[in-house]
Structure 1
Amino acid sequence: MHAVVFAYHDVGVNCLSALLNAGIQVDLVVTHQDDPNENVWFGSVEKLCQEKKISYITPSANELDALLPKFQAIAPDYIFSFYYRHMIPEQILACAKIAALNMHGSLLPKYRGRAPVNWAILHGETETGATLHVMEAKPDAGDIVGQVAVSIDPDETATDVFSKVSQAAVSVIDQALPSLLKGIVPRRANELQKGSYFGGRKPADGQIHWNQTAKQVHDLVRAVAPPYPGAFTAYEGKTMILARTSLKGPFPSKLNLGVCGIQVVDNRVFGICGDHQVVEVLEWFPASK
């Protein structure tokens, strides 16, 4: 079996490695150049390609259409997309003789779209996962090929959960490969009405609104904790990034639960929330750092 693989991030590294270990011939990898303005804390698909001597390219989104003849000439059995960030044009997807398949970091149909792990934590989910699905023009809407769930524990950050999802993605690939190697694509309906689509997130979306509940604030902190841009609030004229919080208590009786925002008591930092509940700030630092 021959494949063209669009890949980036840890999921890209891990799933590409799984394909190679299964004996799939990867004729070309399409990946991204790292953004110098981004905190790159994840594995490099480009480096893996160099180590394995796999041909790779790093086109911009605008350059993909012009590469159609290249993909048509390869005529792969499969096209795989593993955390590739650009929409792949339909004409390129059609170059796959058997199927074009994408790995998505949620339990589809829930959390279609961008930043699925972050959104799941932000909404207080206790479970997410990885889903391999057939690619169509509409993102994350094609039939489900395979799926593996992972837990989200109450204090885990997006990085913690993403690590689980990355491993779940490999499990999905490993489970699907015996069928895919025979040219069989297992399919079940992706029931879109049972989930929602979410857009990308910006650093400004990390602003804490202390009128929300303590759990909502805690979940926001977890969802965008560094190396993501972080949840932030103003304190004594500075913008502070909250990296870790706790709901566990016990909390000092001196706290004024009627005033939302940051209060410092006995050298401990607390946030008073709109439901008159408390989050303790275990780690924070100025945004200027």
Structure 2
Amino acid sequence: MKPRAVVFAYHNVGVRCLQVLLARGVDVTLVVTHEDNPNENIWFGSVAAVAAEHGIETVTPADPNGDELRAAVRRAQPDFIFSFYYRHMLPADVLALAPRGAYNVHGSLLPKYRGRVPTNWAVLNGETETGATLHEMTAKPDAGAIVGQTSVPILPDDTAQQVFDKVTVAAEQTLWRVLPALLAGAAPHLPNDLAQGSYYGGRKPEDGRIDWAQPAERVYNLIRAVAPPYPGAFIDVGNTRFIVARARPVPVGASANAALANLPPGLHVSDNALFGVCGDARAIKISELWCAQDGKPLVITPSQFLQLTHSSRHS
């Protein structure tokens, strides 16, 4: 008899890991996912669409603590519960409905970067490595025993989306590799030593505000960490918000750094190019700058930036 599972899932990791379960012959009897938020940039795949393709019952409860969801999980009679980038913590009594265990995929190398948006935090903090972890779920977030991990590199110019794409593959690989032993009851459960790790909370779009007084490395890491399709690192000039969509640090010793070194921190135009001068006198070249017009991003040239900021400062 096939093992039965209820899957709580969203986003690309949810899509790929649900497909792994199906490919491994798991009988997924219920999928719990989210309604897409009309105010969110939905750039990722649909778990609900995958479930529909396979004829799997799908529910989208607003509250995972509701009695209706508990009843639906009981009816599904799972051996296992899996959570793949589902955005709510699951209560202990729901986890207990799976007699063979409840497991989550988290987008970091636990115990590091427990909590929310671990990929964005890892890029922001200048990490050179992250990955995906399959772990047992407990009442405390990202705190259960580790069943499997796969690491991926973070290259110096990787954006958070590029790293997230790697983490998605790492999640798929981890689940594919570990699942046979897990289903057989033979998977290792290794300690998750929280004292050796870290925890981070969620991030809001407003957290992307650039402080040019910071060192160039810190500013560049922020730009990479929230680059589109995330909300973007930004500055406000008057009533106009500018988003730094793509950028690259100017190498130490380059002539542009010398030419800009005496300018105050902030955005400047030099030789018909946009640069951000930072608090350590190093510069970041802005290769793509956006501003919002009629609710849509518009790419701004250096000359347009000068015109817009001049009018903003004198309006």
Q: Which bracket does the TM-score occupy, shorter chain normalised?
A: over 0.9
Aligned partner of 2:276 among 271, 279, 287: 271
Work out whether 1:158 is the aligned partner of 2:160.
Answer: yes
Give SS of 1:229's match.
coil
Equivalent AA in structure 2 for residue 74 of structure 1: A
Work out whether 1:103 is the aligned partner of 2:108.
Answer: no
Work out whether 1:286 is the aligned partner of 2:291.
Answer: yes
Equivalent AA in structure 1 for residue 248 of structure 2: S
Aligned partner of 2:57 among 55, 58, 67: 55
Map 1:58-69 to 2 at 5 A: 58-61=60-63, 64-69=66-71
Q: Deviations over 1:202-243 (max 9, x none)?
A: 000000001111010000000000110000013476211001
Structure 1 residue runs of 5 or longer lacking an equivalent are: none
- Give the superposition deviation at 1:3: 0.5
Work out whether 1:201 is the aligned partner of 2:203.
Answer: yes
Equivalent AA in structure 1 for residue 150 of structure 2: V
Q: TM-score, normalised by structure 1?
A: 0.96
Equivalent AA in structure 2 for residue 263 of structure 1: H
- Give the superposition deviation at 1:66: 3.5
Distance (Å, rounded) in 2 between the aligned partners of 1:159 and 1:282: 18
Q: Name the structure 2 match of 1:211.
A: 213
Work out whether 1:126 is the aligned partner of 2:133.
Answer: no
Map 1:68-107 to 2 at 5 A: 68-107=70-109
Equivalent AA in structure 1 for residue 188 of structure 2: P
Distance (Å, rounded) in 2 between the aligned partners of 1:64 and 1:163: 33
Map 1:246-265 to 2 at 5 A: 246-249=248-251, 250-252=254-256, 253-265=258-270
Higher mean C-alpha deviation, range 236-245 or range 257-266: 236-245
Structure 2 CA distance for partners of 1:106 and 1:136, relative to 1, 3 Å: same
Higher mean C-alpha deviation, range 67-76 or range 49-58: 67-76
Q: Which has the larger radius of gyration?
A: 2
Give SS of 2:171's match.
helix
Runs (4 or more) in structure 1 with deviation over 6 Å come to none
Distance (Å, rounded) in 1 between the aligned partners of 2:147 and 2:126: 26
Distance (Å, rounded) in 1 between the aligned partners of 2:55 and 2:76: 17
Q: Name the structure 1 match of 2:19.
A: 17
Equivalent AA in structure 2 for residue 50 of structure 1: A
- Give the superposition deviation at 1:64: 3.5
Distance (Å, rounded) in 2 between the aligned partners of 1:70 and 1:168: 31
Higher mean C-alpha deviation, range 57-66 or range 10-19: 57-66
Q: Deviations over 1:60-100 (max 9, x none)?
A: 12554442233233331110000000111110000111110
Equivalent AA in structure 1 for residue 146 of structure 2: I
- Give the superposition deviation at 1:257: 3.5
Structure 2 residue runs of 5 or longer lacking an equivalent are: 298-315
Contact 2:33 2:59 in 1 (8 A): yes
Distance (Å, rounded) in 2 between the aligned partners of 1:97 and 1:184: 15
Q: Deviations over 1:104-132 (max 9, x none)?
A: 00000111000000000000000000000
RMSD of the alignment, in Å? Answer: 1.4
Equivalent AA in structure 2 for residue 280 of structure 1: K
Higher mean C-alpha deviation, range 179-188 or range 97-106: 179-188
Distance (Å, rounded) in 2 between the aligned partners of 1:242 and 1:111: 26
Contact 1:211 1:273 in 2 (8 A): yes
Q: Deviations over 1:159-206 (max 9, x none)?
A: 101000000001100111120121233210001011111111000000
Q: Name the structure 2 match of 1:229.
A: 231
Give SS of 2:259's match.
coil
Structure 2 CA distance for partners of 1:67 and 1:238, relative to 1, 3 Å: closer
Percent of residue pairs identical: 53
How many residues are treated as equivalent by the alignment?
289
Q: TM-score, normalised by structure 2?
A: 0.88
Equivalent AA in structure 2 for residue 69 of structure 1: A
